[in-house]
């Protein structure tokens, strides 16, 4: 099983020619309600590729919680370990998008921020049979690290997507508590102080990450490609050429693809290729979870 222990949000998106200024009301052209949250997005990305995936986390007991659950089930994500608890509301993101596709986002973490030690105990049997665990930083770090320890103890692999970028870097122990991290440019700079601008600077950052205690590192640079490092081996891969219209959740689809391929026994280099194809295809569609590509679509792109 692939397990995601992370966030689930409902995204409420309003489209308008321009974003309102403080105190102003603008009339928009339309809206969309979709499933988001980095945890949910990564889980959906795995499911769309045909992988068996569980999303462990929390929603509130409310309409958005029901909606999130319905969407996850629709995409084929198992929600047995997604708990509805009445203490906090389901997480939401309120997103404004203007005519130039610039956005402004307010996230209310809600139930995602309530994840704690009791959740790790609750999902312990699942963690013990998890081959790959996907983590992000939209939920509290302590329970995520506890879950990581449990998965590794049982021989599983732990991938941390350090997103959103941690303002003060990550505690030293985190580097030795996970196997692989997958930062984008901003996150890489926040973590190791190197701004990856090209192949060489990205490889330098990946090496710095491995020196801190990871066994593998991947640095995502959007349309500028991706680098990976594992033991003494490393490499660069250019991005797939696609017509990008909306980069929301590209990073999440990348991680879903990476986890799926590694769980199936691929080498890091092979897995990064699948992941890059997932990320690229996600940019050709609007929305978060709704942008995740299928295995057939990946096949077609990789074979091109
Ligand atoms: P994040 O979404 O976390 O900021 P990136 O922007 O680096 O991360 O996107 C994640 C991955 O999605 C990239 O590594 C790449 O594989 C793919 N991707 C993103 N933008 C593009 C693009 N314009 N063209 C092709 N692939 C892209």
What's the pTM? Answer: 0.96
Task: Give the nearest ligand 1 atom to 183 CA.
Answer: 3
Q: Which domain holds residue 142?
A: 2-7+37-87+113-160+240-303
Structure confidence at residue 3 (pLDDT): 98
Model confidence over 61-106: pLDDT tens digits? Answer: 999 999 999 999 999 999 999 999 999 999 999 999 999 888 899 9
Is residue 128 domain-resident? yes
CA 204 to ligand 1 center in whole angstroms: 20
Asked if residue 95 is part of any domain, the answer here is no
- From the list 119, 161, 252, 290, the catalytic residue is 252
- List, for the chain, all residue ranges whose pLDDT scores fall below the cut of 50: none
pLDDT at position 292 = 94
Q: How many domains does the chain have?
A: 1
Residues 15-48: b if buried by 16+ CB within 10 A, e if exposed: bbeebeeeeeeeebeeeeebbbbbbbbbbbbbbb
CATH code of 47's domain: 3.40.1190.20
Residue 35: phi and psi, rounded to 5, are -85, 130
For residue 187, the CA-to-ligand 1 centroid distance in Å is 13
| C-alpha of residue 184 to centroid of ligand 1, in Å | 8
Instruction: Give the angle subtended at the CA of 263 by the CAs of 257 and 268, to the nearest 5°.
Output: 70
Report the distance separating Cα 43 and Cα 259, nearest Å: 10
For 16-46, how does the pLDDT look when each residue is reduced to its tens digit (9 = 90+)? 999 999 999 999 999 999 999 999 999 999 9
Known binding positions for ATP:
184, 220-225, 251-252
In a domain, 100, yes or no: no
């Amino acid at each position: 099983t692939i397990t995601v222990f992370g966030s689930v949000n409902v995204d409420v998106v309003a489209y308008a020619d321009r974003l309102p200024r403080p105190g102003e009301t603008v009339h928009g052209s339309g809206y969309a309600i979709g499933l988001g949250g980095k945890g949910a997005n990564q889980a959906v990305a795995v499911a769309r590729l045909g992988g068996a995936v569980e999303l462990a986390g929390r929603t509130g007991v409310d309409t958005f919680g029901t909606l999130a659950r319905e969407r996850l089930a629709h995409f084929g994500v198992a929600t047995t370990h997604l708990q509805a608890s009445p203490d906090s509301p389901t997480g939401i993101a309120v997103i404004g998008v203007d005519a130039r596709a610039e956005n402004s986002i307010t996230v209310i973490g809600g139930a995602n921020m309530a994840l704690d030690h009791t959740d790790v105990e609750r999902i312990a049997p699942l963690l013990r049979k998890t081959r790959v665990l996907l983590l992000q930083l939209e939920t509290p770090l302590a329970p995520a690290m506890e879950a990581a320890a449990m998965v590794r103890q049982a021989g599983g692999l732990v991938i941390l997507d350090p997103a959103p970028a941690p303002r003060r870097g990550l505690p030293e122990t985190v580097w030795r508590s996970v196997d692989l991290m997958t930062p984008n440019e901003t996150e890489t700079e926040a973590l190791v102080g190197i701004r990856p601008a090209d192949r060489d600077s990205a490889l330098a950052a990946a090496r710095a990450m491995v020196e801190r205690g990871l066994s593998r590192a991947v640095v995502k640079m959007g349309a500028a490609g991706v680098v990976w490092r594992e033991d003494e081996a490393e490499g660069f891969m250019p991005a797939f050429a696609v017509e990008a219209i909306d980069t929301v959740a590209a990073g999440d689809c990348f991680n879903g693809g990476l986890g799926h391929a590694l769980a199936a026994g691929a080498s890091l280099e092979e897995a990064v290729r699948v992941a890059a194809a997932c990320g690229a295809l996600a940019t050709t569609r609007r929305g978060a979870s709704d942008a995740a590509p299928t295995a057939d679509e990946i096949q077609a792109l990789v074979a091109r």
